[in-house]
Amino acid sequence: MCSIMGFTKQQELEKMMECFRRTISRGPDMSRTINAGEGMLCFHRLAIMGLDERGMQPFCYDGDAVVCNGELYGFRSIKEKLAEKFTFTSDSDCEIILPMYREYGLDMFQMLDAEFALILYDGKKDSFIAARDPIGIRPLFYGYCQDGSIVFASEAKNLIDLCGEIMPFPPGHYYADGQFVRYCDLTTVETFSTDDLETTCSKIRDLLVKGIEKRLDADAPLGFLLSGGLDSSLVCSVATKVLKKPIRTFAIGMATDAIDLRYAKEVAEYLHSDHSEIIISREDVLEALDYVIYTLGTYDITTIRASMGMYLICKAIHEQTDIRVLLTGEISDELFGYKYTDFAPTPEAFQAEAKKRVDELYMYDVLRADRCISANSLEARVPFGDLDFVRYAMSIDPAMKMNTYGMGKYLLRHAFEGDWLPNQILYREKAAFSDAVGHSMVDDLKEYAESKYSDAEFEAKCKEYDFATPFTKESLLYREIFEKYYPGQAKMVKAFWMPNKEWEGCDVNDPSARVLSNYGDSGK
């Protein structure tokens, strides 16, 4: 994980550096800035690949320069081909970017199998290019300075007091010649796969294994977040088989009613992992709330709830271990279904919801994982976001993905029947992370918010916001903290993450699956 910033026209130096220092946690190892035409490129490094100083950015070549926060999978084969024309001096995957740009131009972005955000200066054209991966796993924001020049940065907090309106850089796009161009659309499916059930599940398994395997390539120590739910457990199981040695796993739960800890322990024992448990209290959660919202740059209820446990577990990993890279289980729900998508009225509606959720991931679950992990100077890797895996999962006939099996995510579960996981884990009912840390955590947050406002204060304060208007005292609390750090920037987030209220059974006023009628044995 690194932090990047690119000014297309330099501003007052002290102001530029002050803005850039706000995200030094993303790259605490080394920092460097260089002039690029009338602008400047800035880089904070967290060394993951090519650990010595030769891997430090910005990379420069023949008048061009680039900063990239990313992991470029399969870079060695590309590097080998480019080495016929270009000389490389480091083991960093990102060193291939400028040679790729010289060789392929803007078509290079379609060739990358990567989680990345980059800013590139073309010295010959004296112009800037920026780009972001198709899902938006790596963050990038932009805005305009008072002189009209555009500036790019890893996080919104870099741009506060610098730009009037701060906007997320759209995933799967590049910016060149003053235009945003979409170079990759993963979620629009013209023709669905005709594979039968067994073939579909076989491909799901093979593609996920490959996605996990490529994300195990790191020169820094690896760790795994393990909730004991299906998604993180599968990542841990596959990694154990691929590495052929015990992995290091971490689970978190409230001191009073942690749900996930016992399931995580069961998976860890099955996999013989080096397992650690992090126990948190009501005080830990409330004490961290303000900083977590500042770190996230959101007021969204479900994102903040789920971030409390994730931030605190990552904080403990950073303080107590030498881990630098964490693999997580995000993006499975968007592809294969939530508890609420059991209510999808038709396959077409299921597919439309999956498309919406994947397209918006960068504002919700992916944002949560990136900020909670990077705030603690760690790097996140998300195997379910593997591009080949996402393309295939989106192409599966949605009638096959709908829950007609009496168990959500049946295809993913069936794909890994065998010796991957204990059957009771493989077919465990889903519990949302914010609930599974312990139902008391969300209850504590709600109770705290209730104590902050009288009913009259709540009604009056909600009227101050005409966009994403708070609708509970909890949502008002989060919005007020957000506005303290990001005043007037609420439109960075499209809306509150909520189940599809147009579906029968989903017209609820809380994003937790606990309020749904089909919650059943989830979270027990």
Helix axes 473-485, 439-452, angle to 10 degrees: 80
Strand pairing class (59-61; 64-72): antiparallel
The per-residue b/e assignment along 151-174, b for 16 or more CB within 10 angstroms, e otherwise, is bbbbbbbbbbebbeebebbbbbbb
Task: Tell the residue number behind the tokens 């295939």, with chain if given.
Answer: 392
Query: Which amino acid is located at 465 in the chain?
Result: Y
Active site annotation includes 145: no
Using alpha carbons only, what angle is made at residue 121 by residues 120 and 122, rounded to the nearest 5 degrees?
115
Q: What is each CA distance from 334 to 14, 364, 464, in whole angstroms? A: 42, 11, 33
Counting beta carbons within 10 angstroms of the beta carbon of residue 280, is it exposed (0 to 12), middle (13 to 18) or buried (19 or more)? buried
> Cα separation of 168 and 155, whole Å?
9
**Taking a C-beta distance cutoff of 8 angstroms, is the pair 168, 492 a contact?**
yes
What is the C-alpha separation between 202 and 416, in angstroms, rounded? 9
Backbone angles phi, psi at 89, to 5 degrees: -120, -5
In what helix (H) or strand (E) does residue 223 lie, and over which residues does it extend? strand 222-225
Strand order in the sheet with 30-36: 30-36, 39-45, 3-7, 150-153, 141-144, 167-168
Catalytic member of 2, 42, 68, 163: 2
Dihedral over Cα of 252, 257, 262, 264: its sign: negative
Q: In what order do the strands lie in the sheet with 173-176?
A: 59-61, 64-72, 114-122, 127-132, 173-176, 179-182
Element spanning 210, H or E = helix 197-214
Q: At a CB cut-off of 8 Å and minimum separation 6, what does 476 contact?
A: 449, 453, 458, 461, 462, 470
Q: How far is CA 269 from CA 229, 265, 388, 485, in A?
A: 14, 6, 31, 43
Chain centroid, CA 471 distance in Å: 26
| Residue for token pair 């993180």 | 232
* Pair type for strands 64-72 and 30-36: unpaired
Closest CA to 65 of 23, 102, 28: 102
Name the residues annotated as catalytic: 2
